[in-house]
Amino acid sequence: MKELTKAEEQVMHPLWQMGNATVKQIIDHLPEPTPAYNTVSTLVRILEKKGFVDHVAEGKGHIYFPIISKQEYTRKFMKRFISNYFEDSFKNLVSFFAKNDKMDLKEFDELMADVRKELENKKSKEK
């Protein structure tokens, strides 16, 4: 899966949130200053070619919808990010933030509890 550009990601967020939308509806959900209609329309067609979005025809227009969920994209993006910057190590990632963002012990304990809970849930689902 290819990585989204910043502009493509900006278009995907409203689609992920709404589930489907016209170009106009996407524009209505973008932050100011909003890009031109033609710009968003071009980005949506690029996203279609990349396999992130598909459409159904409705009247003279199209309704677009995501093919890739936000969760799936985030998982693959983070996996690639951790691999490229933290030697495929969650430990290195957490250590980086603990050292550079002055994570306190309470936050660290909460993070570890959340991770432990997720791993236990994953393990119980596999059984």
Confidence of residue 107 (pLDDT cuts 50, 70, 90): confident
Query: 45-67: per-residue pLDDT in tens?
Result: 999 999 999 999 999 999 999 99
Q: How far apart are CA 63 and CA 57, in angstroms?
A: 6
Q: What band does 103 get if pLDDT is binned at 50, 70 and 90?
A: confident
